[in-house]
Amino acid sequence: MLKEKTFFQNIDRVKTAILRLKEFEPEEGYYLAFSGGKDSIVIKYLADLSGVKYDSHYSVTTIDPPELIYFIRKYYQDVTWEYPNKPFLERMVEKGFPMRQKRWCCAEYKETGGSGRIVVTGIRKAESASRANRKMVETCYKDTTKRFLNIIHDWSDSDVWQFIREQKIPYCELYDQGYDRIGCMFCPLAKQSNRYRDLERYPKFAKLWEKAFIKMYQKKKSEGKTSVDRWKDGSEMFTWWIQKTPEKHIPAQFTMFE
């Protein structure tokens, strides 16, 4: 609940988030990390309500769902699009496929912006076990000039949706079509069922992914890398990757990341 009465105090999560923004506002303004997902549209709306100075940035992964791209273009024309040096699938051919325990993609495609700034994020403790220990204010361990301000870190999923509906904030249509979270297509962190759903929903994109796996397989073979010998070709490697939800480290997986 956005408003809650406890034995010790009355909690108003919207007011608290706005106070956090005002308290830490830097002279140059915030760098607001915007993804187009439910949490990022909430923090952007809160930033507008608070009146703080900020500039919002969308990190283009080149593998986000088309519905999300259309949504951002339609409703958030003031957001700056930050483009990568290379499309993701080209980079994957060079670097190897991302896995649950060994993923390089987020660091290269989502976490590069905001150096020297205070970055406002929509990270919430309720999202996952790995985020349960996140703090409201944090310093980036990779770039100590960058600090994170997680203004809704203590909000639940129901809090987020309550705020969106009360304020009548437009949101991406995928949430009404069975998606609880929106991110990169075929994400290795997603459940296997979600990856199968992407295969069915985006067959043309699936073909592009398969072609990238074929190129990657051929590249590894030409370099004499034996790590790909467990698959007969790139198509089989792609099928394995889509189906696999690894829980344990498999040595052959790690040799893909030279």
CATH C-level class of 3-177? alpha beta
Contact between 68 and 177 under an 8 Å Cβ cutoff? The reply is no
Taking phi first (over 0 means left), then psi (-120 to 50 degrees means alpha), and beta for anything else, what does residue 45 get? Answer: alpha
Lowest mean pLDDT, pick from 103-107, 123-127, 160-164, 188-192: 188-192
How confident is the model over 131-145, as a mean pLDDT?
A: 88
Lowest mean pLDDT, pick from 3-7, 71-75, 121-125, 204-208: 3-7
What are the pLDDT digits (tens) for 11-45?
899 999 999 999 999 999 999 999 999 999 999 99
Residue 251 has pLDDT above 60, yes or no: no
Residue 257 has pLDDT above 70, yes or no: no
At 6, is the pLDDT very low, low, confident or very high (cuts 50, 70, 90)? low
Contact between 166 and 14 under an 8 Å Cβ cutoff? The reply is no
Residue 250 has pLDDT above 70, yes or no: no
- For 100, list phi and psi in degrees, rounded to 5: -55, -45
Residues forming beta bridges with residue 56, ordered by sequence position: 32
Lowest mean pLDDT, pick from 56-70, 89-103, 226-240: 89-103
Task: Give me the residue spans of the domains in the chain.
Answer: 3-177, 192-254
Q: Read off the amino acid at residue 39.
A: D
- pTM score of the predicted model: 0.88
What are the pLDDT digits (tens) for 161-190?
999 999 999 999 999 998 988 999 999 888
Q: Report d(CA 180, CA 166) in Å as an integer.
A: 19
Mean pLDDT, the chain, integer? 90
44 CB burial (10 A radius; 0-12, 13-18, 19+): buried
Q: Report d(CA 255, CA 23) in Å as an integer.
A: 47
At 49, is the pLDDT very low, low, confident or very high (cuts 50, 70, 90)? very high
Q: Read off the amino acid at residue 137.
A: V
Cα–chain center distance at 178? 18
